[in-house]
């Protein structure tokens, strides 16, 4: 998954407002992970669209 060049620069974690980084889960699903060590929520990307809802996020193990 590649987000548009400028999009990742302006996206932030809805919970703590830290920058997000692109990663993939163990099964290959794309996600955006909060860069804050205190928060570290992982938001899914479905059909190329980031789902930036705290209720949809997961805490990485």
pLDDT in tens, 1-55: 567 768 888 999 999 999 999 999 889 999 999 999 999 999 999 988 899 999 9
Q: What is the CA radius of gyration of the chain?
A: 10
pTM of the entire structure? 0.87
Pairing of strands 49-50, 42-46: antiparallel
Position 61 scores a pLDDT of 67
Token reading at 37: 């060590």
């Amino acid at each position: 998954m590649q987000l548009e060049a400028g999009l990742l620069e302006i996206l932030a974690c809805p919970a703590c407002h830290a920058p997000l980084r692109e990663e993939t889960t163990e099964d290959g699903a794309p996600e955006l992970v909060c860069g804050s060590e205190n928060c570290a929520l992982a938001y899914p990307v479905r059909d190329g669209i980031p789902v930036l809802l705290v209720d949809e996020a997961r805490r990485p193990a």
